[in-house]
Amino acid sequence: MIVEERARDASAVAASLEPVAARRPWPPLAAVLALLPAAAMTELLLVRTFYRVGVYIPRDGPFRTVYGALTAIGSFALNLSSVLVAVALALLAAGAYRQRQRATTFALGAFLTVSLVLAAAGTSELGPAARMAFVLAVVVVAWPFVRSEAGRWQRLAVAGVAASALLSSYAGFVGDAGRLVPSAGGPGGAVGSQLAAEALVIATAFAFLGAWVASDRLRAGPLLLALGPAVALLVAWRANGAVTGILVLWTAGLRLYLPVWLYAVALWAFGAAAVGWLPRHGWRSAGLALLLVAGMLLESTYVQGLALVALVLLTDGVAAGGLPQRIHRVELGGVHDPVRLVEPLGGARLDVGPHPLVVVEPGDVRPMRVDLGLAVGHPLGDRLRDARCLLDPDGGGRPEPADLRSLTQDRRAVGREREQPVDRVADPDALVAQDVGYQLPGPAPSEGRSRPA
């Protein structure tokens, strides 16, 4: 009877282990952040690349139809991406407000407000105001992460992104000053700041590669996949360097004043980090994609907004109070609500060959301890559950976390809650049963085991 009861209990518990997170809808911020990189990359390929190149190609016959269709898709992607950037900034500011991150709320809200006013008014006089709000937001988002205890390479990469954005913004301030107040003695150094920012972008790409290797280990797959764009850049440069240089300036804002092979290697490192982070740190991969679309010149509030969202994603949302939880971290069902146990479950590693007895094992459970010893009715092979229940001792029948202070030794439970062991031994943390005797009268146990009354 006990064996049958335990089998039914194990089946019920195993059925309750289905992912709860899979049944929950995605929060709005997660949906926006997932859709934004796809829309932005589509805009980059079809508007800033295909549309500008197609202008110089005779549009006759079938190409005219294809050109018109792809141009329409690119225009829609540009409009969608612009709206998603505004929505993402609004949701991030709202989340920062709920997490009492007042500086982030003010910085993101101020940039979004000025950007919307600038877009509605259509005047260039508000350019310096929007640029100043952008600079403030970059500092507010990046500085807490740079000072944190995150990985050294990732902090260096974020610092490089922030510094290059500030250098590019200085060049924009110089241009704004010359346009608003024409003068021969205006501030200078715009070209120098852009050249310094471009060199910093190259160094930052290698920092991202180091951050990926430090967090997720080096893998051959991302390195091989990232070779495609790098080789394409070299081939295009060798075929027609002038057109390639103009196209790179239009899309990424880079002048290519350094050796081209250095840009190709940096693109390979950047792409490897983006692909390598995708399985475990998808938001960072999305941030790298947005950073590529934003480019370096940052001449409009649209690309400035992309850069800000990318910076939030690359900093893991530290300044904004966190990011939406990744889907692969499932919350186990059948656990009392106050516990809110979240455990990532994974299979065998890739270097483990398939065998008949390869099964799913519990992964990293962080501060909790998993003991693969003998257990009764426990699907994960954990220790015997504690006699006490988390909530009502008689009202719950779900799995309970172990209390290491009061585990009975070499005893089994009867029923779901195990309020008392079979032989009713006193709490071994306070009194050892072998020292104080047994509570029920009866013959003495033989060979260290008791006999129930």
> What is the spatial distance between Cα 417 and Cα 415, in angstroms, rounded to a whole number?
6
89, β-bridge pairs? none
Residues near 97 by beta carbon (within 8 Å), at least 6 away in sequence: 105
CA distances from 309 to 173, 293, 323 (A): 22, 12, 11
Tokens found for residue 327: 């889907």
Question: Average pLDDT, stretch 72-101?
Answer: 95
pLDDT recorded at residue 119: 85
Distance in angstroms (rounded) separating the CA atoms of residues 257 and 259: 7
> Could you tell me if residue 373 is inside a domain?
yes
pLDDT bin (cut points 50, 70, 90) of residue 338 is: very low
- Highest mean pLDDT of the ranges 21-30, 38-47, 441-450: 38-47
Number of domains in the chain: 2
Spatial separation of the C-alpha atoms in residues 113 and 294, rounded to whole Å: 20
What's the pLDDT score for residue 353?
53
Question: 298 and 403 share a domain?
Answer: no
- Assigned domain for 430 exists: no
62: confidence class by pLDDT, cuts 50, 70, 90: confident
Average of per-residue pLDDT values in the chain: 76
Helix axes 102-121, 62-98, angle to 10 degrees: 140
Do 387 and 294 reside in the same domain of the chain? no
Residues 349 and 402 grouped into a single domain: yes
**Same structural domain for residues 91 and 180?**
yes
Residues 170 and 192 in one domain: yes
Q: Which residues of 208-219 are buried (b: 16+ CB within 10 A; e: fewer)?
A: bbbbbbebbeee
Q: Are both 165 and 87 inside the same structural domain?
A: yes
Instruction: Report if residue 102 sits inside a domain.
Output: yes
| DSSP H or E stretch at residue 323 | none
- Whether 40 is in a domain gets the answer yes
Same domain, 16 and 160: no
Asked whether residue 266 is domain-assigned, the answer is no
Same domain, 87 and 178: yes
Based on the fold, state whether residues 309 and 350 are members of the same structural domain: no
Question: Which DSSP category does 230 fall into?
Answer: H
Please indicate, yes or no, whether residues 123 and 2 belong to a single structural domain of this protein: no
Residue 147 located in a structural domain: yes
Per the structure, the complete domain to which residue 414 belongs is given by 1-20+330-422
Q: Is the pLDDT of residue 158 over 50?
A: yes
Q: 381 and 309, same structural domain? A: no
Asked if residue 289 has pLDDT above 90, the reply is yes
Q: Is residue 12 part of a domain?
A: yes
**Distances in Å between the alpha carbon of 241 and those of 52, 55, 159, 238, 453?**
17, 19, 32, 6, 92
Token pair listed for 190: 């715009």
Domain contains 319: no
Q: What is the 3-state secondary structure (H, E, C) of 123-134?
A: CCCCHHHHHHHH
Q: Is the pLDDT of residue 6 over 90?
A: no
- Supply 432's token pair: 């050892």
> How crowded is the C-beta side of 208, counted as CA atoms within 13 Å?
33
